[in-house]
Copies of this chain bind each other. A is one copy, B any other.
Amino acid sequence: MADTVQPVQPIEFLRGLRSVRRFTDDPVPEQAVADIFTVSRWTGSARNLQHWAFVVVRDRDTLGRMAAAEGSAAHLAGAALGILLVMDGSALIAQETFDEGRLAERIALVANAHGLESCIGWFKGPGQDEVKTLLGIPAKKLVRTVMSIGYEDTGADGARSHPEHPRKPMAELVHEGRW
């Protein structure tokens, strides 16, 4: 796969981001991984706390175990790469969760700029502890979001099962001046 980042029309680039759960076996280019972490490093956060770190998972057995942990990360089993977001787990839970969303969105966009697709998975309840133990992450950390990344397998069953989710009409979405 050629890994070149082409200029984009930014509105279409942002609007067109999709969630994709089926991936080919092609590896994620190292430049894409490097760009993901450069952009992540410069992501804004409440009081610039940068309450995050990452574990990059490429080992297929580990990806399979994570995919089986309680939550919604089954797509990891077929991902070329997983990126686990390890949050500080501080008392500022709302800020961390909000900033975790900002970060996840940017990771998905960087991947997409490289022609890659991604899907957000969440670990829940005992699934979070299981992943911490599996990867040697301190218990106090919050391990919830994982990103599956790879090239889309357009031939896979269910690959485009949600090609265009319906969206709220604009009139319900936008209120001018007041509710």
Give bound CA distance, A175 to B135, whole Å: 10
Per DSSP, chain A at the interface is mixed
Known contacts A86-B179, A179-B55, A179-B86; A174 and B44 CB within 8 A of each other: no
User: What residue in chain B is nearest A134 (Cβ atoms)?
Assistant: B178
- List B contacts of A175 (CB < 8 A): 53-56, 86
Give bound CA distance, A172 to B97, whole Å: 20
Complex contact B168–A41 (CB within 8 A):
yes
Give bound CA distance, A94 to B95, whole Å: 11
Complex contact B11–A39 (CB within 8 A):
yes
Complex contact A59–B177 (CB within 8 A):
yes
Which A residues, 100 to 114, have Cβ-Cβ distances below 8 Å to chain B? 100-106, 109-110, 113
